[in-house]
Amino acid sequence: MIIGLQQFAPLSMKPLAIGLTDQRITLWDTLLLTYLNRIDKKVKYNKVNGKAFEELYISMYASNNSEHVVLDISFGSIKTCDAKTKMTGGLILNCTVQNTKLSFINCYLSGNNNKLFEDLKKIYYSREDNNTPQANQVCFIFGDLGFGLELNKSKALEMLKQGHITELFKFDNLWKQYKKSYSLPEITESEITFRPTYRLVKRTKQYDVREEEPCWRDRILWIKNKEIVCKKYSSVRKIMFSTNSPVYGLFSAPIYGQPVIEEVNLDESFSLLNSSEVQKSEGNSNESQNTSFIDLEAEKNTSQYD
């Protein structure tokens, strides 16, 4: 399981100097492991590795019933901001399982549409897997990607009230702009059927539309690979300590020669994350906490594909 946090650390450097980043890492690792291990008492999760970079954090967890051996874990990071803007960029986790190279790119981006795609391009090509055959690569790009809607606020709210989620998503700027861009390899995303994840009034399910329309800034994309299957893609509206609803996905990915791993009950784990312990841990913090979850289920692969 891969978990990525955005706006993980305060924007100012003062808290970093006094060690609050390390404290927050410890807090989140403890909380996440506690709730993951409550899902099934027969399964125990342990942290494999993780890294923080500015406002981003990415961590890998593995269950004790997994027969996978994760090798060659490495991290990369890149800033995409200038001196006048807040920190934006990407944090990359690369690893190898059998002969499959996996990359997980946790992003926090902002700016106009052209800048967003240029930043995604910089982050993607900063990975360390250029010598890996394309057929052996699995790459996910996720986090707060910054894309809004090409629609005014009043119209967006009207469509939301009527429950026209599919129609509203047609105005999503990510895919509108991607069709005009050749700066990235072919990326894809599962169908979105959940409500916009941004921008919410903290501790409520109400949208804050003072500055912009509700939209899907929090996404999970992957480099198109016909062997990757998305089994679930949703958000968790019950978790309300941020201006963003957390997004999660369950994927089946090819890890050659490995057994099938039982699915994790993600809905139950995220319900646990809404407990009073998490609310209390955030205290009176004014920082937004965005979260993305990716759970990978490896499939035994001995057949030929068309």
pLDDT of 169: 96
**Beta partners for residue 137, in sequence order:** 101
Rounded CA gap, 153 and 230, in Å?
31
What confidence category does residue 84 fall into, taking pLDDT thresholds of 50, 70 and 90?
low
Please state whether beta strands 70-79 and 89-97 pair in parallel, antiparallel, or not at all (unpaired). antiparallel
Upper half-sphere CA count for residue 129 (Cβ side, 13 Å): 28
Nearest one of 85, 121, 118, 82 to 105, comparing CA atoms: 121
Quick: pLDDT tens for 148-202. Answer: 999 989 999 999 999 999 999 999 999 988 877 666 778 999 999 999 999 999 8
Which of 60-64, 131-135, 164-168 bottoms out in mean pLDDT, i.e. has the lowest?
131-135
Nearest one of 141, 140, 135 to 256, comparing CA atoms: 135
Upper half-sphere CA count for residue 150 (Cβ side, 13 Å): 10
What confidence category does residue 46 fall into, taking pLDDT thresholds of 50, 70 and 90?
very high
Model confidence, pTM? 0.82
pLDDT of 65: 81
pLDDT of 88: 87
| Res 306 pLDDT > 50 | no
Nearest one of 228, 242, 237 to 294, comparing CA atoms: 228
Task: Provide the 8-state DSSP code for 135.
Answer: G
**Which H or E run includes 33?**
helix 20-36
Section 97-114 average pLDDT = 89
Nearest one of 226, 215, 70 to 145, comparing CA atoms: 215
Percent of residues, the chain, with pLDDT higher than 70: 74
Instruction: Choose between 203 and 222: higher pLDDT.
Output: 222
Q: Is the peptide bond prior to 199 cis by the omega test (within 30 degrees of 0)?
A: yes
Alpha-carbon distance values, 288 to 53, 85, 169, 243 (Å): 16, 17, 24, 6
pLDDT of 281: 46
**Beta partners for residue 247, in sequence order:** 235, 292
